[in-house]
Protein backbone atom coordinates (compact mmCIF):
# COMPACT_ATOMS: atom_id res chain seq x y z
CA UNK A 1 0.00 0.00 0.00
CA UNK A 2 2.79 2.39 0.92
CA UNK A 3 4.59 1.76 -2.38
CA UNK A 4 1.33 2.22 -4.24
CA UNK A 5 0.68 5.52 -2.52
CA UNK A 6 4.15 6.73 -3.44
CA UNK A 7 3.54 5.71 -7.07
CA UNK A 8 0.25 7.62 -7.18
CA UNK A 9 1.93 10.62 -5.58
CA UNK A 10 4.68 10.62 -8.20
CA UNK A 11 2.10 10.37 -11.00
CA UNK A 12 0.11 13.30 -9.60
CA UNK A 13 3.27 15.36 -9.17
CA UNK A 14 4.38 14.52 -12.71
CA UNK A 15 1.01 15.53 -14.12
CA UNK A 16 1.13 18.80 -12.20
CA UNK A 17 4.62 19.59 -13.53
CA UNK A 18 3.54 18.74 -17.09
CA UNK A 19 0.45 20.90 -16.69
CA UNK A 20 2.46 23.86 -15.46
CA UNK A 21 4.96 23.42 -18.28
CA UNK A 22 2.11 23.35 -20.80
CA UNK A 23 0.59 26.54 -19.39
CA UNK A 24 3.99 28.22 -19.41
CA UNK A 25 4.52 27.28 -23.04
CA UNK A 26 1.02 28.41 -24.00
CA UNK A 27 1.71 31.81 -22.45
CA UNK A 28 5.08 32.06 -24.21
CA UNK A 29 3.70 31.04 -27.59
CA UNK A 30 1.49 34.14 -27.75
CA UNK A 31 4.70 36.14 -28.35
CA UNK A 32 6.20 33.80 -30.98
CA UNK A 33 5.02 35.73 -34.06
CA UNK A 34 5.39 34.03 -37.43
CA UNK A 35 5.09 35.18 -41.03
CA UNK A 36 3.38 32.50 -43.11
CA UNK A 37 3.80 32.53 -46.88
CA UNK A 38 1.71 30.85 -49.55
CA UNK A 39 1.36 30.95 -53.31
CA UNK A 40 -2.13 31.16 -54.78
CA UNK A 41 -2.50 30.37 -58.52
CA UNK A 42 -5.55 32.56 -59.04
CA UNK A 43 -4.66 35.18 -61.67
CA UNK A 44 -5.27 35.06 -65.40
CA UNK A 45 -2.42 33.59 -67.48
CA UNK A 46 0.20 36.20 -68.27
CA UNK A 47 -0.57 38.38 -65.22
CA UNK A 48 2.23 39.69 -63.05
CA UNK A 49 2.20 38.43 -59.44
CA UNK A 50 0.31 40.37 -56.76
CA UNK A 51 1.46 40.26 -53.14
CA UNK A 52 -1.21 40.53 -50.42
CA UNK A 53 -0.37 40.87 -46.73
CA UNK A 54 -3.23 39.38 -44.70
CA UNK A 55 -3.34 40.53 -41.06
CA UNK A 56 -6.08 39.71 -38.57
CA UNK A 57 -7.11 39.54 -34.93
CA UNK A 58 -4.51 41.87 -33.47
CA UNK A 59 -6.57 42.23 -30.24
CA UNK A 60 -4.22 45.02 -29.21
CA UNK A 61 -4.18 46.67 -25.80
CA UNK A 62 -1.94 49.63 -24.89
CA UNK A 63 1.54 48.61 -23.80
CA UNK A 64 2.00 45.54 -26.00
CA UNK A 65 5.32 46.79 -27.34
CA UNK A 66 6.64 43.48 -28.68
CA UNK A 67 3.53 42.85 -30.78
CA UNK A 68 3.46 46.47 -31.96
CA UNK A 69 7.09 46.34 -33.09
CA UNK A 70 6.57 43.05 -34.95
CA UNK A 71 3.53 44.36 -36.82
CA UNK A 72 5.40 47.54 -37.74
CA UNK A 73 8.20 45.40 -39.19
CA UNK A 74 5.75 43.94 -41.72
CA UNK A 75 5.95 47.21 -43.63
CA UNK A 76 9.40 46.11 -44.82
CA UNK A 77 7.68 43.46 -46.96
CA UNK A 78 6.20 46.24 -49.14
CA UNK A 79 3.18 44.21 -50.27
CA UNK A 80 0.99 45.43 -53.11
CA UNK A 81 -2.11 45.31 -50.89
CA UNK A 82 -2.79 44.96 -47.16
CA UNK A 83 -6.04 43.27 -46.10
CA UNK A 84 -7.05 43.40 -42.43
CA UNK A 85 -9.89 41.09 -41.40
CA UNK A 86 -10.80 42.65 -38.08
CA UNK A 87 -10.60 42.39 -34.27
CA UNK A 88 -7.94 45.08 -34.11
CA UNK A 89 -8.70 46.23 -30.53
CA UNK A 90 -9.17 44.73 -27.09
CA UNK A 91 -9.31 47.95 -25.04
CA UNK A 92 -11.23 51.23 -25.15
CA UNK A 93 -7.97 53.21 -25.38
CA UNK A 94 -6.35 51.03 -28.05
CA UNK A 95 -6.95 53.20 -31.14
CA UNK A 96 -3.60 55.07 -30.88
CA UNK A 97 -1.80 51.77 -30.26
CA UNK A 98 -3.42 50.15 -33.31
CA UNK A 99 -2.51 53.11 -35.51
CA UNK A 100 1.07 53.02 -34.22
CA UNK A 101 1.34 49.31 -35.01
CA UNK A 102 -0.15 49.71 -38.49
CA UNK A 103 1.52 53.02 -39.37
CA UNK A 104 3.98 51.63 -41.97
CA UNK A 105 1.16 49.56 -43.49
CA UNK A 106 -1.24 52.51 -43.67
CA UNK A 107 1.07 54.08 -46.25
CA UNK A 108 0.27 51.15 -48.57
CA UNK A 109 -2.95 50.31 -50.43
CA UNK A 110 -5.25 48.53 -47.98
CA UNK A 111 -8.75 47.29 -47.23
CA UNK A 112 -10.44 46.37 -43.94
CA UNK A 113 -13.48 45.00 -42.17
CA UNK A 114 -14.27 44.85 -38.46
CA UNK A 115 -14.88 42.01 -36.03
CA UNK A 116 -16.83 41.81 -32.79
CA UNK A 117 -13.84 42.98 -30.74
CA UNK A 118 -13.74 46.22 -32.70
CA UNK A 119 -17.25 47.00 -31.44
CA UNK A 120 -17.36 45.49 -27.94
CA UNK A 121 -14.66 45.06 -25.33
CA UNK A 122 -13.73 41.54 -24.22
CA UNK A 123 -15.29 40.26 -21.00
CA UNK A 124 -14.22 37.70 -18.41
CA UNK A 125 -16.12 34.47 -19.01
CA UNK A 126 -16.02 30.78 -18.23
CA UNK A 127 -13.10 29.28 -20.22
CA UNK A 128 -15.26 26.22 -20.96
CA UNK A 129 -17.35 28.41 -23.29
CA UNK A 130 -14.36 28.43 -25.63
CA UNK A 131 -14.95 24.74 -26.32
CA UNK A 132 -18.35 25.42 -27.83
CA UNK A 133 -18.49 25.20 -31.59
CA UNK A 134 -19.83 28.77 -31.66
CA UNK A 135 -19.12 30.77 -28.50
CA UNK A 136 -21.02 33.95 -29.26
CA UNK A 137 -21.77 36.25 -26.38
CA UNK A 138 -25.00 35.56 -24.55
CA UNK A 139 -24.89 39.00 -22.94
CA UNK A 140 -27.19 41.84 -23.81
CA UNK A 141 -25.13 43.99 -26.17
CA UNK A 142 -26.60 47.13 -24.66
CA UNK A 143 -24.81 46.22 -21.45
CA UNK A 144 -21.46 45.41 -23.08
CA UNK A 145 -18.57 47.87 -23.12
CA UNK A 146 -18.48 49.59 -26.50
CA UNK A 147 -15.18 50.36 -28.20
CA UNK A 148 -14.36 53.41 -30.39
CA UNK A 149 -14.86 51.57 -33.67
CA UNK A 150 -16.01 54.69 -35.52
CA UNK A 151 -12.79 56.52 -34.65
CA UNK A 152 -10.64 53.61 -35.83
CA UNK A 153 -12.60 53.24 -39.08
CA UNK A 154 -12.28 56.95 -39.80
CA UNK A 155 -8.52 56.82 -39.21
CA UNK A 156 -8.18 53.87 -41.59
CA UNK A 157 -10.23 55.64 -44.25
CA UNK A 158 -8.20 58.86 -43.87
CA UNK A 159 -5.06 56.83 -44.52
CA UNK A 160 -6.54 55.70 -47.82
CA UNK A 161 -7.61 52.19 -46.82
CA UNK A 162 -10.85 50.92 -48.35
CA UNK A 163 -13.74 50.25 -45.96
CA UNK A 164 -15.51 47.04 -47.01
CA UNK A 165 -18.23 47.14 -44.35
CA UNK A 166 -21.16 45.60 -46.28
CA UNK A 167 -19.97 47.25 -49.47
CA UNK A 168 -18.05 46.84 -52.70
CA UNK A 169 -15.13 48.76 -54.13
CA UNK A 170 -12.57 48.64 -56.90
CA UNK A 171 -8.83 49.30 -56.89
CA UNK A 172 -5.93 49.06 -59.29
CA UNK A 173 -3.24 47.02 -57.54
CA UNK A 174 0.12 46.37 -59.19
CA UNK A 175 -1.43 46.98 -62.59
CA UNK A 176 -4.32 44.57 -61.89
CA UNK A 177 -7.99 45.61 -61.83
CA UNK A 178 -9.15 44.33 -58.43
CA UNK A 179 -12.79 44.31 -57.36
CA UNK A 180 -13.60 43.71 -53.69
CA UNK A 181 -16.70 42.77 -51.72
CA UNK A 182 -16.88 42.71 -47.94
CA UNK A 183 -19.27 42.28 -45.04
CA UNK A 184 -19.52 43.50 -41.48
CA UNK A 185 -18.92 40.95 -38.73
CA UNK A 186 -20.91 37.72 -39.27
CA UNK A 187 -20.19 36.65 -35.67
CA UNK A 188 -22.45 39.49 -34.54
CA UNK A 189 -24.90 38.89 -37.40
CA UNK A 190 -23.99 42.32 -38.76
CA UNK A 191 -23.33 41.01 -42.26
CA UNK A 192 -25.48 42.23 -45.16
CA UNK A 193 -24.08 41.03 -48.44
CA UNK A 194 -24.06 44.02 -50.81
CA UNK A 195 -25.94 43.83 -54.10
CA UNK A 196 -24.02 44.00 -57.33
CA UNK A 197 -24.82 47.17 -59.32
CA UNK A 198 -26.66 46.51 -62.57
CA UNK A 199 -24.23 45.74 -65.36
CA UNK A 200 -21.19 45.66 -63.07
CA UNK A 201 -18.62 42.95 -63.69
CA UNK A 202 -15.86 41.61 -61.50
CA UNK A 203 -12.33 42.82 -61.98
CA UNK A 204 -9.48 40.69 -63.24
CA UNK A 205 -9.16 39.68 -59.57
CA UNK A 206 -12.23 39.54 -57.33
CA UNK A 207 -11.59 39.40 -53.56
CA UNK A 208 -14.06 38.61 -50.76
CA UNK A 209 -13.29 39.90 -47.25
CA UNK A 210 -14.97 38.98 -43.95
CA UNK A 211 -13.97 38.72 -40.33
CA UNK A 212 -15.62 35.42 -39.42
CA UNK A 213 -15.84 32.69 -42.10
CA UNK A 214 -19.42 31.57 -41.50
CA UNK A 215 -20.72 29.30 -44.22
CA UNK A 216 -23.58 31.64 -45.19
CA UNK A 217 -21.03 34.33 -46.07
CA UNK A 218 -18.77 31.90 -47.90
CA UNK A 219 -21.77 30.75 -49.96
CA UNK A 220 -22.55 34.35 -50.94
CA UNK A 221 -18.95 35.04 -51.91
CA UNK A 222 -18.75 31.81 -53.86
CA UNK A 223 -21.94 32.76 -55.75
CA UNK A 224 -20.42 36.20 -56.36
CA UNK A 225 -17.53 34.44 -58.13
CA UNK A 226 -14.84 35.63 -55.75
CA UNK A 227 -11.43 34.34 -56.79
CA UNK A 228 -10.11 34.45 -53.22
CA UNK A 229 -11.83 34.96 -49.85
CA UNK A 230 -9.88 36.27 -46.85
CA UNK A 231 -11.07 35.82 -43.25
CA UNK A 232 -9.84 35.55 -39.66
CA UNK A 233 -11.65 35.11 -36.34
CA UNK A 234 -10.78 31.45 -35.68
CA UNK A 235 -7.36 32.11 -34.10
CA UNK A 236 -6.43 28.86 -35.85
CA UNK A 237 -8.25 27.12 -33.03
CA UNK A 238 -5.89 28.84 -30.55
CA UNK A 239 -5.44 25.55 -28.68
CA UNK A 240 -4.39 22.70 -30.97
CA UNK A 241 -3.72 19.09 -30.07
CA UNK A 242 -0.66 17.69 -31.89
CA UNK A 243 -1.82 14.96 -34.26
CA UNK A 244 -5.45 16.07 -34.01
CA UNK A 245 -5.48 19.78 -34.71
CA UNK A 246 -7.89 22.48 -33.59
CA UNK A 247 -10.65 21.63 -31.15
CA UNK A 248 -13.03 24.34 -32.41
CA UNK A 249 -13.30 27.08 -35.03
CA UNK A 250 -15.65 29.42 -33.09
CA UNK A 251 -18.03 29.44 -36.06
CA UNK A 252 -19.68 26.87 -38.33
CA UNK A 253 -16.60 26.38 -40.52
CA UNK A 254 -15.18 22.86 -40.30
CA UNK A 255 -11.99 22.25 -38.29
CA UNK A 256 -10.09 21.21 -41.41
CA UNK A 257 -10.22 24.79 -42.68
CA UNK A 258 -9.52 26.50 -39.34
CA UNK A 259 -6.45 28.27 -40.78
CA UNK A 260 -4.33 28.38 -43.89
CA UNK A 261 -5.10 28.10 -47.59
CA UNK A 262 -8.00 25.89 -48.69
CA UNK A 263 -10.81 25.57 -51.20
CA UNK A 264 -14.50 26.13 -50.47
CA UNK A 265 -16.91 24.39 -50.63
CA UNK A 266 -14.79 21.61 -52.11
CA UNK A 267 -11.06 20.91 -52.48
CA UNK A 268 -8.56 23.58 -53.42
CA UNK A 269 -9.08 24.79 -57.00
CA UNK A 270 -5.70 23.31 -58.03
CA UNK A 271 -6.63 19.85 -56.70
CA UNK A 272 -8.74 17.13 -58.34
CA UNK A 273 -12.44 17.94 -57.95
CA UNK A 274 -11.75 21.57 -57.00
CA UNK A 275 -12.46 23.25 -60.33
CA UNK A 276 -15.66 24.87 -59.00
CA UNK A 277 -14.23 25.83 -55.59
CA UNK A 278 -13.22 29.26 -54.38
CA UNK A 279 -9.82 29.85 -52.79
CA UNK A 280 -10.19 30.53 -49.04
CA UNK A 281 -7.46 31.84 -46.76
CA UNK A 282 -8.16 31.90 -43.01
CA UNK A 283 -5.61 33.66 -40.81
CA UNK A 284 -4.84 32.29 -37.35
CA UNK A 285 -4.32 35.93 -36.33
CA UNK A 286 -1.88 37.76 -34.12
CA UNK A 287 -3.54 38.04 -30.72
CA UNK A 288 -5.87 36.63 -28.11
CA UNK A 289 -8.45 37.95 -25.72
CA UNK A 290 -6.67 39.52 -22.72
CA UNK A 291 -8.73 37.12 -20.59
CA UNK A 292 -7.41 34.05 -22.44
CA UNK A 293 -3.79 34.96 -23.26
CA UNK A 294 -2.69 31.49 -24.37
CA UNK A 295 -1.92 29.63 -27.58
CA UNK A 296 -0.80 26.05 -27.91
CA UNK A 297 0.67 24.57 -31.11
CA UNK A 298 -0.80 27.58 -32.89
CA UNK A 299 1.63 30.47 -33.18
CA UNK A 300 0.29 33.99 -33.84
CA UNK A 301 0.73 34.88 -37.47
CA UNK A 302 0.37 37.19 -40.42
CA UNK A 303 0.45 35.88 -43.98
CA UNK A 304 2.07 37.04 -47.19
CA UNK A 305 0.13 35.63 -50.13
CA UNK A 306 1.79 35.62 -53.55
CA UNK A 307 -0.95 35.54 -56.17
CA UNK A 308 0.31 34.08 -59.45
CA UNK A 309 -1.26 33.04 -62.77
CA UNK A 310 -3.31 29.88 -62.98
CA UNK A 311 -1.97 26.98 -64.98
CA UNK A 312 -3.30 26.86 -68.54
Strand order in 162-163's β-sheet?
34-43, 301-309, 50-55, 81-84, 110-112, 162-163
Instruction: Give the ranges where 181-310 is alpha helix by DSSP (H).
Output: 215-223
Q: List all residues 6 or more positions away from 181 whose beta carbon is below 8 Å from its beta carbon.
A: 164, 167, 168, 193, 194, 206, 207, 208, 209, 221, 224, 226
Residue 8 pLDDT exceeds 50 = no
Question: What tens digit of pLDDT does each residue of 272-304 get?
Answer: 999 999 999 999 999 998 888 899 999 999 999
Report the pLDDT value the prediction gives residue 130, as an integer from 0 to 100: 55
Of 180, 164, 178, nearest to 44 (Cα)?
Answer: 178
Residue 216 pLDDT exceeds 60 = yes
Separation of alpha carbons 253 and 305, rounded Å: 21
Report the pLDDT value the prediction gives residue 136, as an integer from 0 to 100: 54
Phi, psi of 20 (to 5 degrees): -65, -40
Task: Tally helices (H) and strands (E) across the chain.
Answer: 6, 14
Q: What is the mean predicted confidence (pLDDT) over 28-49?
A: 95
* pTM listed for this prediction: 0.89
Question: Worst-scoring range by mean pLDDT, 2-16, 129-143, 153-167, 182-196?
Answer: 2-16
Q: What domains, with CATH codes, occur in the chain?
A: 31-309 (3.60.21)
Report the pLDDT value the prediction gives residue 205, as an integer from 0 to 100: 98
Report the pLDDT value the prediction gives residue 27, as an integer from 0 to 100: 72
Residue 255 pLDDT exceeds 90 = yes
Q: What is the mean predicted confidence (pLDDT) over 14-25?
A: 42
Q: What is the mean predicted confidence (pLDDT) over 205-232?
A: 98
Residue 151 pLDDT exceeds 80 = yes
Question: What tens digit of pLDDT does each residue of 94-131 get?
Answer: 999 999 999 999 999 999 999 999 999 987 765 555 55
Report the pLDDT value the prediction gives residue 135, as an integer from 0 to 100: 56
Separation of alpha carbons 298 and 287, rounded Å: 11
Q: What is the mean predicted confidence (pLDDT) over 13-24?
A: 41
Amino acid sequence: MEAGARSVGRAVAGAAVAGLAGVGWALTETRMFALRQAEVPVLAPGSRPVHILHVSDLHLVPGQRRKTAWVRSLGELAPDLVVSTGDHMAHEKAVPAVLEAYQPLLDLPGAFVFGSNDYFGPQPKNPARYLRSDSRQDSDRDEMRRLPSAALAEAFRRSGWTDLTNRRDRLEIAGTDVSLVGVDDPHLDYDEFPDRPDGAENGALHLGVAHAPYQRVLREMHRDHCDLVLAGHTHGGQLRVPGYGALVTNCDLDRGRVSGLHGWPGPRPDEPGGATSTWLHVSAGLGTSPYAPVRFACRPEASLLRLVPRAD
